[in-house]
Structures are given as C-alpha cells and as structure tokens.
Amino acid sequence: MAVLKAPCSKVAKSNDAVDIKTIQSQFDFLYSLVNEVPDPILVIGTDFRVKFANRAAQNFSNSFVCKGDKEPFCHNLVYNIDFQCSTMGRPCPLVEVLESNKPVVVEHEIKSDDGLVRNYEIHASPLWDDDGHFLGIVESIRDITDRSEYARMLKKSQGVLEASVAERTKDLLHSNDVLRKEIVGRQNIEKILRAERDKFQVMLEAMGQGMHILNSDFTIEYQNDVLRQLFGDQIGHTCYQVYKGRDTPCEVCRMHQAIATGQVQRTEEIMRNARHYAQNYAPFKDIDGEDKCLILLNDITEEKMYQAETMRTGQLASIGELAAGVAHEINNPINGIINFSQILMDDSTDDVTINILQRVIDEGERVAVIVSKLLSFARQGVDDSEAYMETEIHDVLDDSFALLGHQYKKDGIHHSVTGSEERMSVWVNPQQLQQVFVNLLSNARFALNEKFMKERSEDKRLEVNCCFIQIKNKKFVRLSFTDHGCGIPDDIVDSVCNPFFSTKQPGQGTGLGLSISQGIVKEFKGYLRIKSELGKYTTIMVDLPVYEPEEGE
C-alpha cells in the first residue's frame, strides 16, 4: 500500500540548515493521528489510484486487495472489482467532485466475503496543491448500516402509526360532531354570561369602584381594572398585605364578620396608598361551595378633604363670631381698667401703690394684645390669595407663642427658639401661617402632657429651630418643632396627616389639625415632614421658600 509522503516546499538557500528531523517528527506525529481515526480515510489521485490509506482503510481492504500492491485503484480497494464504479451505475466520488468542484456525499452498498451487505456513506472533498492544481480527492468512509436499518424500521413503524392514526381520526371525527353540538350550546350560554358580565363591569367602571373577591384565607382571587391600576396585579396575595402593608390579618376583619353573619358590612378605612376608601363587604357562596366575600372599594378621599375644609370653614366662622363678641365685651372693661389705673397712678405719691397700679396697667395691655391677636387669627380666609404678603417668620412665631404662652406656662412646658436670627421673609398669608404654627404648638403641648401627665419636669420641653436650607437649588426657611413627648408609632406616622385621623380620645381632637396644616403649607409651595420615635420625640419640619423680591419691586 502506498504511503503518503511529506510535502515538499521550496526553501531559499541560507546559512541556516533546515531541521529535517523536526519536520520528519511533525510529519510522523500527524501520520499517527490520521492512523488513529476509526473511519477509513483515503487520498485518491486523478488517475483513480489510492495515494494514501490510513490503518482503518488498510484493515477495511484486507479481504479485497493484496497488501503488496502499492497504489491500487480505488474500486479495487473498496469493491474488489477491476472496472470503475460509474460503469456499474454507481456514483463515483472522484467524478462528482471533478464535475461540481466542491465536496460531495454518496452512499454505497458493499458486500463482504461472508455475504453480508453493509451500507457506507462516503464523504469526498477536493485536494489542491499550493499552485491551485487539482490533485485528487480525500475520502472518508463511514458505516451507516445500523442507521439505515433504524430508518427502515422507523419508516415501517410510521406506516403502522399512520394507519392507526387514520382509524383513530375516524373515531375522533364522530366524537367531534357530538362535541361540536355541545360547544355550540355552551357558546350560546357563554355569550349570555359574557354579556351580563360586561354589563356588570361597565357599571362598576362607570361608578369608579374597585372590586375584588376574597376567599376565607384572605387570598385575593379576582380584582377589576380599577384596583389593578391602583395596586398592580395582586391576585394570589393576601388583602392585608396588599391594602394595609401588614404581615398579619387586621384585628377587626369585616370579611369574616360578613361571612359569619351573612350580612353586608360597611366601613371606611385608609389604605396603604394613603387614600380614604368606603368599603362594602358582601358574603356569598361560590360554585365550589366555599364561603367568599365580594368587596367594593370607593375612593372618598376628595369627599373627606371637602368635608374637612367645610368643617374648618365653619370652625373659623364660629371662632370669628365668638372672637368679635369677646373682643368687644373685653376691650371696653379693659380700657376702663387701664384708664382708671392710670388716673389713680397719676394722683398717687406712694411708690408701692404706683408699682401695683403699673402692673395692673401692664396686665391689662397684655390682655388687650391677646384679644387683638385672637381676633386677627379668627379673621383668616380659606384661600385668600390677596392676603399674601411678605411675612417675617419670627413675627408670626412670636404671635403664635403669645396665644399659647400662658397655657405653656401653666403646664410647666419649657420652650426655646434657636437658630439663625437673620430676617427670614416668606410670601404667605400670615394668618394662615399662624394657624399652622398654632396647630403644631397645640399638638406638641398635648404630646408633652400625655407623657408627663401634666407634671413639671426639665425634660418637658419644646425646641423650635429656624435655619436656611437648599432644596433643588432653591433657598428655603426650615422651622423644626421638636417636642420630647410620647412620639408617634411607626405604623401610623405616614397617616397622621390624613383628614380625620387622630390618636386622641373622642372629644379631644377632630383629626384635622395636621391635615389642614399640610394643605396650607402646600399652598405656600412648601413641605411639611414628620420624624418621630415612639416614647422619645416628634419633629415636624416646615420648609417654606424664601421670598426674594425682584429688582425694583
């Protein structure tokens, strides 16, 4: 059998000798690799003679060709015949490569000496020299007898399967006719149900109400588009997690009350999104026999805000009428007390008497100032933009302490004002800003009295700090009201500014103070923020934009 020789290449003459041993070593290594390939590999020249055959090819040809033949014809080596494959009607890989000038794949059947016929797949690729001359082809021969047998068996099985499918299809066609009639009937029923469902959904959407269905395990099984837009797709989650942000069910569960009593339950609550909702819980028994609850949610936040504003307007009107009457009834006798005291002091020569009369005059004037500030506080409007003016923060703060100073002194509350003493001008309605400060001072007084039970203590104190800050590259005045009272629990600190939300006992508060204060601060284009730690302190920060008049204003 011919052995493939190492390719020759033109090497320029040089002083360095070519390392022949290295090249021979590399060639021997490559030759050994090809010999280890399990498939027969042949190199066939254009004269149909085998120029190279690896060990698998030589073993393949043992029973056909004598090993002494150095370059046998390919048809002698593979088929043990003396004429070319094309004369026998078989495709010749060399001829097909010559005609197509690209690799080809052919299949041949080869019969061995023992009479067995095996199928082989022959891959042939063209072989070129460095100058582009066609030298022959490289063949690899792979035994595909098993694969062909599997294909034959698969084809036979496919025929059996097709026959079985045809028979089964006939049965299914009959069943389909029966089902088609049932489906038509169901479709008619579904059309009716869908129409009724669409009417129901349109009614809910027109009312703007959210709807969800809960099972007895608090799991949401259905929600309409209104709730999906508010809270996202929450089907499969529990109601107390989604709408209240809780880890456990609510202490008072209206759903279980509705299921237990069989009666519709109604309530109003603030959800996790800080909106106020009216809730209706209607129990029903589902098709699976399980007790469930249909819940309707109606957003009434705006109604609550309007109700708060209406109540606030009524309160201010009542205070205004009362303050006007009180001012008229008090100012006249106070003026008489001051005038008569001044007459007595002018006629008196006793220093003790003069000192007492001067104190009477001072106290009378203080009462007159308090009445004047109370009357000014009661005259404020709900939204009087014409009353906006350049206002000095310290002046409004002093007026607010003047109204509550006596109560602070009576309760033993220490208060201090620290921070910048520069002029802090803002563009606001001064009466409305005073209302915000009075609300915050009143809340601080309540928290301190709750913690210290109206007892006197050095820790019973309110600290007010005034400073300048920057928010979004704009200058603001920040007033921080810090009381060291009972504090606010973490789970309700985000809800204390909602209308009618109050931690005070009934009769001690309306739940409108912080809500109204936050609304006023927003109208001033400012911010109201709350920080608190239960049992230690509460800080309410009011940030108002600094008023900087334009040139020439």
- Across residues 254-261, what is the average pLDDT? 84
Asked, for residue 169, whether it belongs to a domain, the answer is: no
- Across residues 446-456, what is the average pLDDT? 83
Residue 277 sits in the same domain as residue 420: no
The per-residue pLDDT for 3 is 43
Residue 281 sits in the same domain as residue 325: no
CATH of the domain at 401: 3.30.565.10
The per-residue pLDDT for 483 is 93
Residue 83 sits in the same domain as residue 214: no
Banded pLDDT at 10 (limits 50, 70, 90): very low
Asked, for residue 545, whether it belongs to a domain, the answer is: yes
DSSP state of 49: B
pLDDT greater than 50 at residue 16: no
Tokens of 178: 């029966």
| Structural domain total, the chain | 4
Residues 84 and 91: their CA atoms lie apart, in Å, by 10
Residue 460 sits in the same domain as residue 523: yes
Residues 64 and 50: their CA atoms lie apart, in Å, by 14
CATH of the domain at 320: 1.10.287
Residue 374 sits in the same domain as residue 480: no
Q: What is the mean pLDDT of the chain?
A: 79
Distances (CA, A) of 209 to 196, 232, 430: 18, 15, 41
Residue 275 sits in the same domain as residue 409: no
Residues 110 and 122: their CA atoms lie apart, in Å, by 12
Asked, for residue 148, whether it belongs to a domain, the answer is: no
The per-residue pLDDT for 488 is 86
Higher pLDDT, 476 or 8: 476
Q: Do residues 387 and 431 lie in contact, with contact meaning Cβ atoms separated by under 8 Å?
A: yes
51-102 residue pLDDT tens? 888 888 877 764 444 455 577 888 777 777 777 777 777 788 888 888 888 8
205-247 residue pLDDT tens? 666 677 778 888 888 888 877 777 777 888 888 888 887 777 8
Residues 415 and 131: their CA atoms lie apart, in Å, by 104
Q: Do residues 330 and 367 lie in contact, with contact meaning Cβ atoms separated by under 8 Å?
A: yes
Residue 274 sits in the same domain as residue 309: no
Angle between helix axes 351-378 and 301-347 (nearest 10 degrees) is: 160
Asked, for residue 73, whether it belongs to a domain, the answer is: yes
Q: Which helix (H) or strand (E) holds 117?
A: strand 117-128
Banded pLDDT at 5 (limits 50, 70, 90): very low
CB atoms within 10 A of CB 171: 9
Residue 420 sits in the same domain as residue 323: no
Residue 415, beta-bridge partner list: 462
289 is in which domain, residue-wise? 208-299
Residues 378 and 362: their CA atoms lie apart, in Å, by 25
pTM for this prediction = 0.43
Residue 374 sits in the same domain as residue 401: no
Asked, for residue 455, whether it belongs to a domain, the answer is: yes
The per-residue pLDDT for 8 is 39
Examine the fold and report which residue of 299, 325, 355 is the final residue of a domain before the chain moves on: 299
The CA-based angle 227-229-230, given to 5 degrees, is 65
Residues 223 and 210: their CA atoms lie apart, in Å, by 8
365-397 residue pLDDT tens? 777 776 776 666 555 544 455 578 889 999 999
Asked, for residue 402, whether it belongs to a domain, the answer is: yes
The per-residue pLDDT for 382 is 45
Q: Do residues 384 and 429 lie in contact, with contact meaning Cβ atoms separated by under 8 Å?
A: yes
Which amino acid is present at 71? Answer: E
- Across residues 341-355, what is the average pLDDT? 84
Asked, for residue 323, whether it belongs to a domain, the answer is: yes
Residue 400 sits in the same domain as residue 539: yes
Helix ranges (H only) for 17-136 are 20-35, 55-60, 74-79, 93-100
Asked, for residue 249, whether it belongs to a domain, the answer is: yes
- Chain-centroid distance of CA 268 in Å reads 28
Residue 322 sits in the same domain as residue 406: no
CATH of the domain at 132: 3.30.450.20
DSSP state of 272: T
Examine the fold and report which residue of 360, 379, 398 is the final residue of a domain before the chain moves on: 379
Residue 126 sits in the same domain as residue 24: yes
DSSP-assigned letters across all residues of 389-412: EEEEHHHHHHHHHHHHHHHHHHHT
490-542 residue pLDDT tens? 877 777 777 666 666 655 555 667 877 888 899 899 999 999 988 889 999 99
298-344 residue pLDDT tens? 777 777 777 766 766 666 666 666 666 667 677 778 878 888 888 88
Examine the fold and report which residue of 245, 266, 299 is the final residue of a domain before the chain moves on: 299
